Structure 1
């Protein structure tokens, strides 16, 4: 036995986990990138989101299947090491770590930029520090505190989006009516190539739905709760994106904007006046803060599982605070990485994140196929459509999204993978041994809630 806790606290329910996932996705982002999606789709933003939702749902279904089979906080890292190979699992976790480490940085940097724009008396770097410190303190205290704050902030974001929706309907009815509503989905300038290209961009708004799977050890009945939460997160986020983008496109038909990057703010001003637009911007920033908290929490848990397994230095990353039962060191490391944004532009910071996310999505789909093949060989038959066709289509879509990334993002992603391969060679003695893994002795059933705080562990290599 050991006094060092090795499992996270399992007491979150379905509503809390879905709220976490939706907060991670930051639903107000639909207003921030509306102009970009509308321009790329030639004035059919909601259609782009319909396609993106369908594409992400395919991968979400694969995540749900794997979360039921492997109710552990490691997400794709755990799935790949169990279904493919321990070394592939390590590289999957390493690739996802690139996404997870820099997503908080991008989220905090966005917060600082927009808050400084509205309150220029406070320096951008000061806003960055304020956001990083607050989110870090909340995550050190634990997910129950983060859950309460996320729910409050999500209510605020939901309220402002509802008001925006009503204002867009009122404005749309007075400027074009039903005809303009139909054109919001398709018009003479729209094409299949335009909406699919826009869907590739819109898919970035879904980054983070997979973070739900990192909470498997902190929920009640993870085999049932996590799969349902993943699907509900995708559907909820997609539903919000489709509905709000439709109403905004209805209020502003076409794809002509003075500045596509600020089109959401300009449209809010048009339909509700400057005061409403300013309030909406503040509430959106609060929703963004909830996203920052969720991103930092999920990243710290991925690092904890990799540290607990020995894939990262265990004494540093694989430890929980004895009383709070949170990976405090990991939370602090992520906060420190976020502060590096003071020396980066938004474009540079953003370029880091997408490669790892879509590579991870691809591997999750492949894990489902590998699981089904292994089950068939042992005599258990699964639906070929659900366990072969849909995951194969999901993997193809994710590979396509990788091809849509810029050259810098791909180069940085490959460089990060190369570093991971070198580290993997070190810990596996030149790839001759499996990547390290931690086994938990009997006394913790595979479907455990994770409420135990101390059990015997046997590290293996």
Structure 2
């Protein structure tokens, strides 16, 4: 059985933005503000430029290999099947734990609104809803995402209008000021802030997992990646600049709740209440597409026997969705009952940054080394750009604390042990598919 190709460009962009969740700008506001010493516009500008480098590599690889699974597929085909497995195994951290974050965040916010209902009940309920929505089908998920992403963007526009309304006169003369470090705040401060706000961009790459369900994926997916990065960059930079112009100096009693405090400062209790409602909606939307992306990655790894094919490679007879993979993701999402939000975010960041490093490396291996595309412009696109993107992603990896890196190493060792088991005692995950990989025809 195969997927139904139903997704168009706008739907793919909506799904990508839903996974990224534009409202995440406010959930990490306090941490980003303190880390950048208030120079959030410069930090977001730097992060946007760096993320764009990696996005270009995703665009190159999505054109070269139009099948799903993102970094897993690219590394497997461009570098080596075993390297692809290890990268796919680490990337599972990003995909599998993203729904955990959604469930946990939803439970915490709803418990705050309705203290008599335990957060655990909200977590279990929303987890079941995520599963049902995904089993019904990706088109239904895309429809929800399109509506809820528009709501988030409209809220950001409303927030900017509040800022413009309350802004003091003469702001036009200092419009460039939020971009420039002042006093003792140099480029290192902006870079530190950039390493923090990069979390706001995680998710643009997940649309590559939807290639098998996208109409004319070879053209649609690259366009969607570029649009998602550009749209999110414009939103984040514009909001941070206007906020800086309206409030040159801010302080928060609780950095974790800085977004709530900012809403009250800008628009009072009314805007704060609206913010809570939209934020909960955003978390729901992000959770739906997070389960979609994670289940698609598991299905692809099952389809080529990297994971047990009879289980993970199965599609629902009616809805043509990977029902078993969705069930596994839903079970893992119940970890939200016992994990902290900080731990889940560490897993997601580790998986995403690892993917960024190796996708950039795949461009060099496939386009520059294997296919020998080495003209001046090709050298820029297939060597210089991915080298810069890989270097930035690796630098961010080094900024993760030792606990996160240790957890990642342990997870990698588990994956290596599993691969050894599959190779020695069961069906080799790649040998059966060498001929399949060789038969894949890819247009230039």
Q: TM-score range by the shorter chain?
A: over 0.9
How far apart, CA to CA, are the structure 1 residues paired with 2:397 and 2:413? 17
1:128 and 2:123 are equivalent in the alignment? yes
Verify the 8 A CA contact 2:305 2:429 in the aligned structure 1: no
Which residue of structure 1 aligns with residue 171 of structure 2?
Answer: 177
Q: TM-score, normalised by structure 2?
A: 0.94
Verify the 8 A CA contact 1:49 1:202 in the aligned structure 2: yes
1:356 and 2:351 are equivalent in the alignment? yes
1:439 Cα deviation after fit:
7.2
How far apart, CA to CA, are the structure 1 residues paired with 2:18 and 2:281? 10
1:440 Cα deviation after fit:
8.9
Structure 1 residues 374-385: aligned runs within 5 Å = 374-377=369-372, 383-385=378-380
Which residue of structure 2 aligns with residue 405 of structure 1?
Answer: 400
Which residue of structure 2 aligns with residue 81 of structure 1?
Answer: 76
Residue-by-residue CA offset, 1:329-371 (whole Å, 9 max, x unaligned): 1111111111121112222222222112111110000000011
Which residue of structure 1 aligns with residue 188 of structure 2?
Answer: 193
378-387 or 161-170, larger mean C-alpha shift = 378-387
Which residue of structure 2 aligns with residue 304 of structure 1?
Answer: 299
How far apart, CA to CA, are the structure 1 residues paired with 2:373 and 2:319? 43
How far apart, CA to CA, are the structure 1 residues paired with 2:415 and 2:354? 14
How far apart, CA to CA, are the structure 1 residues paired with 2:155 and 2:372? 53
Compared CA separation, residues 325 and 433, structure 1 to 2 (3 A):
closer
Structure 1 residues 241-320: aligned runs within 5 Å = 241-320=236-315
Compared CA separation, residues 247 and 377, structure 1 to 2 (3 A):
closer
Compared CA separation, residues 144 and 82, structure 1 to 2 (3 A):
same
Verify the 8 A CA contact 1:309 1:436 in the aligned structure 2: no
1:434 Cα deviation after fit:
7.2
RMSD, aligned α-carbons:
2.4
**How many residues align structurally?**
441
Residue-by-residue CA offset, 1:301-333 (whole Å, 9 max, x unaligned): 000000001000111111111110000111111
How far apart, CA to CA, are the structure 1 residues paired with 2:73 and 2:201? 21
Compared CA separation, residues 437 and 150, structure 1 to 2 (3 A):
farther
Residue-by-residue CA offset, 1:402-457 (whole Å, 9 max, x unaligned): 00111111111111001111112222339x97735547979x98469xxxxxxxxx
1:100 Cα deviation after fit:
0.8
Structure 1 residues 311-390: aligned runs within 5 Å = 311-377=306-372, 383-390=378-385
How far apart, CA to CA, are the structure 1 residues paired with 2:246 and 2:24? 18
1:61 and 2:56 are equivalent in the alignment? yes
Q: TM-score, normalised by structure 1?
A: 0.90
How far apart, CA to CA, are the structure 1 residues paired with 2:344 and 2:374? 48
Where structure 2 has 5 or more consecutive residues not aligned to the other structure, the ranges are none
How far apart, CA to CA, are the structure 2 residues paired with 1:11 and 1:439? 29
Misfit runs of 4+, over 6 Å: 378-382, 439-442
How far apart, CA to CA, are the structure 1 residues paired with 2:241 and 2:193? 14
1:121 Cα deviation after fit:
2.5
How far apart, CA to CA, are the structure 2 residues paired with 1:229 and 1:383? 22
Residue-by-residue CA offset, 1:280-300 (whole Å, 9 max, x unaligned): 111111012111111110110
400-409 or 128-137, larger mean C-alpha shift = 128-137
371-380 or 248-257, larger mean C-alpha shift = 371-380
Where structure 1 has 5 or more consecutive residues not aligned to the other structure, the ranges are 449-461
SS of 2:167's partner is helix
Structure 1 residues 155-174: aligned runs within 5 Å = 155-173=150-168
1:243 Cα deviation after fit:
1.4
1:210 Cα deviation after fit:
0.6
**Which residue, out of 196, 200, 205, partners 1:205?**
200
1:63 Cα deviation after fit:
0.5
